[in-house]
Structure 1
Amino acid sequence: MGWFGRNHMPVEGRTILLTGGSEGTGLSAARIFSSRGANIIIVSRNPAKLEEAVKSIKAAAKSPEMQRFHTIVADVAEPNYAEGVVNNATAWNDGYPPEIVWCLAGLSTPMLWTDDGALQASRYNMDVNYFGTAEMSRAIMRAWLLPGQEKKQPSTRGSRPAAKHIVFTGTVLSVFSMAGHGTYAPSKFALRALADALAMEVRLYPDVPIEVHFILPNSITTAGYERENETKPEITLQLEGAETPQDPDTVARLSIAGVEKGRYFVTTSFIGDLMRWGAMGNSPRNNWFVDTLMGCILPFIMAFVTWDMNSQVSRWGNKRISEESRK
């Protein structure tokens, strides 16, 4: 962690649960954790993908003879799924709840708000992206906070229990939305609000230290990104410009590095930093001086960015009206 920092999330010998761990960033993160000596539980609704994923996670293990691996089939969009997953994971883990939970399962279905099916898509995005993570965060916190649970935890530093970690996966669209993402961004805005609330609420439990983190990646080159582009409106592609999606391994590596530094907001690119500086609100700061300074500067930058984006939308709308009138 460098000369002046410490690792806020050591993983060797600890148990980590990842939803959406059978592919994409979840699978990449699971491999990294495995290579550092963690026990891994991955959750997905596809049994075949789980079995293939766990093979590659085992292959990356630091100590194959000591580490353990487990898969759980579950659909995060199903109401009340999380308690069963946590109970399953706890039973497998010798009665201890996983000490680190990273919620990565998600999807995006970009559409214009007036398109047929937009409201249905929005509801499903909310079920997967918001409620899927919200249920898991509640279930694991309740498991951690059971009376006497902190005294039974095997991972401690001295007399103080090692911190538990809940990692939320947002997006730069958690703090900055645009045309075409009305079906998707609200689910991530809501997730950011929940994470902000929990980052404050965990202070109620000083005997069970819990750290909350919120990841703000850009687009990621996964199968989900390919599906996303199938419904993405032309204007949304235009507004996103020449953004270069990041690969899952890079996002996983940068995200883990940010969590290890103890950051609340974890970005994987400079554009992510720009977005969070422009929408800090009462969220915890990574660096009070830098974040406050940039929070003062960003409104001036965003005034021009927003003007340009609104102008693009207006021109695109007028162009579409003109084309439809000629049909």
Structure 2
Amino acid sequence: MNLKGKTILITGGASGIGLEAARQFLAIGAKVIITGRNQAKLDAAIKAYPALIALQSDAGNEADAKALFNTVKELGGIDILYNNAGVGVPPTNLGVPSDKHLEGAAYEMQINYLGVIRLNNLFMDMLKSRKEAAIINTTSILSMVPSLLEATYSASKTALAFYTKSLREHLRIIDSSIKVFELLPPLVDTEMTAQRSEKKLSPDQFVKALISGLQKDQYTIRIGDTKLVYQLNRFFPKLTFGLINPKKDEQILR
């Protein structure tokens, strides 16, 4: 896929992976629109990269999504929708009854899964009208093997992974030219993972691998440890589960 000259909308683009993606997409000649809930972060992003267009929008809010679509349409539309926004809640023990389980799961599903479907539906006809268009859905290494510490987050990303594969086939069946990419990040060094001590991939390295996958039309883009986990899980699922969930995690849940 040729990215130069494309207009790309990145949700959750004011920090972390989203902002790094915006920087690298701008550098190769794309026009970039970012969204986020935090206006201060959006303002800082614009200050750092004046070529950006920044729009305040909550990825899990229906009214915000419709307003975002209308604004983007007025700006001339997009060629690529990059569903990058995602949230995770603190670990909870599902075996101990708590309202937090449902509250956290609903929050994650609203943004990580339902919000993606909502935006895809809103922008679908716009993307169909483009000569070359794409949707990028961000799933996770945890959509292959669940994390005990992030059980409902893993579930939300697994739901998105199945939806993404199905969406790709549905578009193929109706002869649509929209390309559907599934992006599977490993643990990336961002604000969201600041408290984690495990090995992390830098946002710079991660986005370089993303762009390479897009340019090669690699519809399933596994980066870093997700490649190894994918292969290991095919042949040694129990071993792989143990690697994702070391014994120390059980102590955290007690």
Q: TM-score, normalised by structure 1?
A: 0.69
Deviates more, 1:117-126 or 1:136-145: 136-145
2:8 is matched with 16
2:120 pairs with 1:125 = no
Counting matched residue pairs gives: 250
Query: Which residue matches 1:211?
Result: 179
Pair 1:305–1:169, CA change in 2 (3 A): closer
Q: Give the match for residue 160 of structure 2.
A: 191
Change (3 A) 1:182 1:307: closer
> Partner residue of 1:42?
34
Are 1:26 and 2:18 matched, yes or no?
yes
Q: Max radius of gyration: which structure?
A: 1
Give the deviation of 1:278 after TM superposition: 6.2
* Counterpart code for 1:142: D
Which residue identity does 2:183 align to in structure 1? I
Mapped to 1, the partners of 2:243 and 2:188 lie a distance apart of 25
Judged with a 3 Å threshold, the aligned counterparts in structure 2 of structure 1 residues 307 and 249 are, in CA distance, closer, same or farther, namely closer
CA distance in structure 1 between the partners assigned to 2:245 and 2:82 by the alignment: 35
Q: Percent of pairs identical after alignment?
A: 26
Q: Which residue of structure 2 aligns with residue 251 of structure 1? A: 206
Cα separation, partners in 2 of 1:49 and 1:316, compared to 1, 3 Å = closer
Q: Distance in 2 between matches of 1:124 and 1:172?
A: 20
CA distance in 1, matches of 2:4, 2:157: 31
Is 183-192 or 45-54 further displaced after alignment?
Answer: 45-54
Report the Cα offset of residue 125 of structure 1: 0.9
Letter of the structure 1 residue corresponding to residue 206 of structure 2? V
Q: TM-score, normalised by structure 2?
A: 0.88
Tell me the amino acid that sits aligned with residue 225 of structure 1.
T
Q: Which residue of 1 aligns with 2:79?
A: 99
Deviation string 1:284-322 (CA, Å, 9 cap, x unpaired) is: xxxxxxxxxxxxxx32x2244447878948x957x95xx
Say whether 1:165 aligns with 2:134.
Answer: yes
Deviations 1:102-132 (A, max 9, x none): 1111111232214541221111111111112
User: For the Cα contact (< 8 Å) 1:119–1:183, is it kept in 2?
Assistant: no
Counterpart position of 1:284: none
The secondary structure found in structure 2 opposite 1:184 is helix
Say whether residues 1:113 and 2:82 are aligned partners.
Answer: no
Distance 1:192 1:80, change over 3 A: farther
Q: 1:77 aligns with which of 54, 60, 65?
A: 60
Find runs of 4+ consecutive structure 1 residues off by over 6 angstroms: 307-311
1:133 to 1:273, Cα distance in 2 relative to 1, 3 A: same
Cα distance 1:86–1:114, how it changes in 2: closer, same or farther (>3 A)? same
State the one-letter code of the partner of 2:237: M
Taking the aligned partners of 2:104 and 2:142, their CA distance within structure 1 comes to: 17
In 2 relative to 1, CA 307–185 (structure 1 residues): closer, same or farther, beyond 3 Å? closer
Post-superposition CA distance 1:171-197 (Å, at most 9, x none): 100111031221211110010011011
Mind listing any 5+ residue stretches in structure 1 that lack a counterpart? 1-7, 59-67, 154-160, 230-236, 280-297, 321-327
> 1-side partners of 2:246 and 2:7: how far apart?
50
For 2:127, which of 123, 131, 144 is the aligned residue? 144
How do residues 284-303 of structure 1 correspond to structure 2 at under 5 angstroms? 298-299=234-235, 301-303=236-238
Query: Would you say the 8 A contact 2:145–2:240 is kept in 1?
Result: no
Give the counterpart letter for 2:209 in structure 1: L
Structure 2 unpaired stretches of 5+:
none
Q: Distance in 2 between matches of 1:256 and 1:310?
A: 30
Answer yes or no: is the 8 Å Cα contact 2:78–2:126 preserved in 1: no
Whole-angstrom CA distance in 2 between matches of 1:21 and 1:186: 23
